[in-house]
Amino acid sequence: AQSVTQLGSHVSVSEGALVLLRCNYSSSVPPYLFWYVQYPNQGLQLLLKYTTGATLVKGINGFEAEFKKSETSFHLTKPSAHMSDAAEYFCAVSGSKAAGNKLTFGGGTRVLVKP
């Protein structure tokens, strides 16, 4: 079985400050990891994904995430927050071939950006 825990359901950052969203996962097999963003009244959009290879993954809108196997983590960061980053962010994991593409999502972290 696989699971995802996102620490903090709400995060408030000042414009220009570092954004750090935490994600820990459990998986019985090497995982594939994803971050999605959801803007108000919209569906989820893919920010970035880790499959294999380089553990630092760069995504859209200046976001990046680092896969740390020893810590079972996949934290999302952005060096400088912009007002347009206000949204809800979801970490997700998929694992075994048996599970296919049935993603397991974390509970989400809503980001508020203060001017």
Any contact of residue 58 with another protein (CB under 8 A)?
Answer: no
Choose between 18 and 46: whose C-beta lies nearer to another protein: 46
Choose between 15 and 66: whose C-beta lies nearer to another protein: 66
Q: Which residues pair with 14 in a beta bridge?
A: 114
Number of residues that bind another protein (CB under 8 A): 28
State how far the Cα of 69 lies from the Cα of 89, in Å rounded to an integer: 21
> Between 73 and 92, how does the x/- string for binding to another protein read (CB under 8 A)?
-----------------x-x
3-state secondary structure of 60: helix
Burial 72-107, CB ≥16 within 10 A → b, else e? ebbbbebeebeeebbbbbbbbbbbeeebeeebbebe
The contact set with another protein (CB under 8 A) reads 4, 9, 32, 34, 36, 41-46, 49, 51, 90, 92, 94-97, 99-103, 105-108
